[in-house]
Structure 1
Amino acid sequence: MNIDLKSKYDSIIFDLDGTLWDSTANVATAWQKAKEEVDYVKDDITQQTVRSITGMAYDAIFEKLFPYLEPQVREEFKARCAKYELEVLNQKGGELYPRLKETLDYLKTNYKLFVVSNCQCGYIETFLRLNDMEDTFAGHQCFGTKGQPKFQNILDVVHDYNLKAPVYVGDTQGDYDSATKAGVPIIFANYGFGQTNDEPVAVINQFAELKKIL
């Protein structure tokens, strides 16, 4: 990769799922546990099910997967899934992408690092605690905090931390659209769960490639 973006940015905002780790197997286990406790969810929940909606806002996930449920019932099932999700992840976590920690340690010497995800409250905190990364990131924001779209959460981080030249790293078209709407350029993580037909400032096939371009 010949792209060189060194000294162009003052901060990096990361997506979480599909960018920093893959927790889909254990999330599927948690949601399936919730499914087995009720009689109104039709199909089993698999890792592929979770992969298919990764990156969507938490409310939108359950609307897409369970459109046949009445809103109140869907909300109850979402809460049940959310509870088990945090319980399972607190025990088992997710799979970090190769050379993640060493790359983040390198990047934090030159940039302020942040996480913005469409997850529920407590999810980012679980990721940070399990992987001893509380001091790696300067801050984070998620859908569960205010119930607002990702682009707005990106804008909040930019404003709250007075960032002058941030770049976003994400792995889905939704990430591209959100970062672009927030006026933040994006580096696309091609190893993640999605793809884009647009033109990010760079594409990485492994997380560790960030060391080369940043």
Structure 2
Amino acid sequence: MDSIIFDLDGTLWDSRKTVAAAWNAAIEQNKLDAEPITVEDLKSTMGLQMPDIMKKLFPQYDEAARNELIQTCGEIECVYLKKSGGVLYPEVKEIIGQLAEKYPLYIVSNCQEGYIEAFLAFHEMEEYFKDFENPGRTGLTKGENIQLLMERNGLKDPIYVGDTKGDQQAAEYAGIPFVYAAYGFGEVESFEQKIDRFEHLLEVAELA
């Protein structure tokens, strides 16, 4: 293992409360007749790309209306996250600091551009991560973004840490081992290793 690539939502933090507030502000701004988005609504969308999330949450609207909402949600969401952040899982910042002393760390998440930046800025973790990628910037799938990041940084033997079946499939697509964060949002049956708490990643990294 020469590096660690992380998913974000359900792996490093839970931003659903802030995101729900931002999306409800976007619904109001776009004057849509839609029920307010709840934290529980967002749980079922974790791991999906934005167009698929919008289709799932707003099936009553056509693609044009959903695309307009994607733009508004993305803009408001990043503002809210920079101000309020999300909830880090226990000991994430401390353990990330320990891991960064031995391994280059990266993030690949299915999010819009600005989302990972907001996470890093609010929790003051920019120094720990060498690079990151997302479909908002590339238009690629998560597996393709993992491959892109690996090629860009010359990674030969990384692991991918995530919490959903989509994360597992992305790691498989990229041809790298998957570490299942079982405390997150998804249920995954196929993985190389499983962690029940974030601190257990120290054992995977042989730092415990």
Q: How many residues align?
A: 205
1:213 and 2:194 aligned: no
1:209 is aligned with what amino acid? H
Q: Aligned ranges for residues 12-23 of structure 1 at < 5 Å?
A: 12-23=4-15
Displacement of 1:39 = 4.1
Distance, in Å, in 1 between the alignment partners of 2:33 and 2:51 is 16
Displacement of 1:37 = 3.1
12-21 or 40-49, larger mean C-alpha shift = 40-49
Distance, in Å, in 2 between the alignment partners of 1:96 and 1:70 is 35
Q: Deviation above 2 Å: which 4+ runs of structure 1? A: 36-42
1:149 and 2:141 aligned: yes
After superposition, the CA RMSD in angstroms is 1.1
Residues 19, 189 of structure 1: 8 Å contact kept: yes
1:50 and 2:42 aligned: yes
Displacement of 1:100 = 0.6
State the TM-score, normalized to the length of structure 2.
Answer: 0.95
Distance, in Å, in 2 between the alignment partners of 1:32 and 1:15 is 25
Distance, in Å, in 2 between the alignment partners of 1:101 and 1:39 is 39
Q: Which ranges in structure 2 are unaligned for 5 or more consecutive residues?
A: none
Aligned position for 1:203: 194
SS at match of 1:120: coil
Work out the percentage of aligned pairs sharing the same amino acid.
Answer: 41
Higher relative contact order (CA 8 A, sep 6+): 1
46-55 or 63-72, larger mean C-alpha shift = 63-72
Q: Aligned ranges for residues 24-43 of structure 1 at < 5 Å?
A: 24-43=16-35
Displacement of 1:49 = 1.0
Displacement of 1:33 = 1.3
Aligned position for 1:60: 52
The superposition leaves residues 66-86 of structure 1 with CA deviations (integer Å, 9 ceiling, x where unpaired) of 122111111111111111111
1:67 is aligned with what amino acid? P
Residues 58, 143 of structure 1: 8 Å contact kept: no
Which of 3, 13, 17 in structure 2 is aligned with 1:11? 3
